[in-house]
Amino acid sequence: MNSHRVVIAGLGDSGVLTAIRLARHADVVGISAKPALVSGQELGWRVSRPHDWARANWIPFDRFRGLDRVRTVHGTLTGLDLDARAVLVRHDDGTTSAEKYDALVISTGVRNGFWRQPNFQSADEIGADLRAAHESVAEAASVIVVGGGAAAVSSAANIARTWPDKRVDLYFPNERALVGHHPRSWEQVRRRLVEAGVGLHPGHRAVIPDGFACDRITNEPVQWSTGQPPASATAVLWATGRVRPNTDWLPAELLDENGFVRVTPELRVLGQPGVFAVGDVAATDPLRSSARNRADALLADNIRAGFAGRPLRSYRPPKRRWGSVLGPQRDGLEVFAPNGHAFTFPAWSFDRVLMPLFVRWGIYRGVRTNKPLS
């Protein structure tokens, strides 16, 4: 029997992986507003081919073998009592309970656009959201994508490739998109966008209407603060990278001036022994890159080291973004290294090697067959 209780607050990409790594070493409780891992990745794939996307990116918790020993609680985190060492959780029936911890992992991520929101949802509601976004883009004759990050670029490319007859335009504020990536990555992705027929519009900074949180697909003309005439399309997809941390349940003393959780290089929350943060919510570095750089492994080791009185290790972030931008395509999956060079996994290897062996076994330590999106 494990004597230490670890509470994982937020079971998204980083929370699930941290829970899996700790499951055999502690009594782990994971709390999440969703009944599944619903990844915030690969927006273009998600909007254009939601069935395919869901197979890889929407995985109910009971499908993860590594979570069999973890107790998952479907609820919304509403508070943290540092003195009592407990988090407060609101349940679907309106009641609230407290979950006590010896170590707490804050991994509630960020909200971003219509595709990444921390609201309490059932599986049916998640499916309805996926279908609604897909249908509004499928029915549109023309699409504007606003934004210059990976979500925007991948949306424009995937929409244009899925529906070659649609007019698709990508508007971004700088001379190039993907400014956090190496210039070589952008050059390669730019060629792919042009091949797919996407109209590229650099130097366009959109005016975000007052009170609009960029959290739905719109159809009104888009105005530009950079002076160009307004642009119109049947569907406007906002991927402006205005991420907001999901930290309204935390005491302000844990947060930096932008609302992210302040952490030491060991991913410890400053001044709070036993409290850690990881993923997009943790202010580790300017790109807040600990999720994609798999700091869940380091964090799990550090939590165990903390219990055993051993020294903790530090997270060392790379300076540039890396990873896949466009997601899996008919001609393979391109993954960009921090130096901008791309490695392409052939298309055949995605379903036969990459997903079953590398992702489901290598990363998640076993995932039972996923139920398809109906």
Interacting residues with ligand FAD (CB under 6 A)? 10-15, 17, 31-34, 39-41, 76-77, 107-109, 116, 118, 150, 246, 249, 279-281, 291-292, 323-324, 363
Closest Cα to residue 341, out of 320, 359, 356, 360? 320
Smallest distance from the beta carbon of 87 to ligand FAD, in angstroms? 9
Q: What is residue 223's three-state secondary structure?
A: coil
Smallest distance from the beta carbon of 209 to ligand FAD, in angstroms? 25
What one-character-per-residue DSSP string does 265-327 give?
Answer: TTSBBTT-TTEEE-GGGEESSTT--TTTTTHHHHHHHHHHHHHHTPPPP-----SS--EESS-
Name the residue number minimizing CB distance to ligand FAD: 12
Smallest distance from the beta carbon of 102 to ligand FAD, in angstroms? 20
Cα–Cα distance between 331 and 348 in angstroms, integer? Answer: 9
Smallest distance from the beta carbon of 312 to ligand FAD, in angstroms? 20
CB nearer to ligand FAD: give 158 or 246: 246
CB nearer to ligand FAD: give 40 or 44: 40
Cα–Cα distance between 22 and 297 in angstroms, integer? Answer: 9
Smallest distance from the beta carbon of 10 to ligand FAD, in angstroms? 3
CB nearer to ligand FAD: give 180 or 265: 180
CB nearer to ligand FAD: give 274 or 338: 338
CB nearer to ligand FAD: give 134 or 181: 181
Contact 198, 160 (CB under 8 A): yes
Query: Which backbone phi and psi does 87 adopt, to 5 degrees?
Result: -105, 155
Render the burial of 125-147: b for 16+ CB within 10 Å, e for the rest. Answer: ebbebbeebbebbeebeebbbbb
Smallest distance from the beta carbon of 240 to ligand FAD, in angstroms? 16
* β-sheet bridge partners, residue 37: 59
Smallest distance from the beta carbon of 230 to ligand FAD, in angstroms? 31
Residue 340 exposure: Cα atoms within 13 Å on the Cβ side: 13
Closest Cα to residue 234, out of 165, 302, 168? 168
CB nearer to ligand FAD: give 167 or 184: 184
Smallest distance from the beta carbon of 166 to ligand FAD, in angstroms? 25
What one-character-per-residue DSSP string does 91-157 give?
Answer: -TTS-EEEEE-SEEEE---EEBTTTB------HHHHHHHHHHHHHHHHH-SEEEEE-SSHHHHHHHH
CB nearer to ligand FAD: give 11 or 237: 11
CB nearer to ligand FAD: give 146 or 326: 326
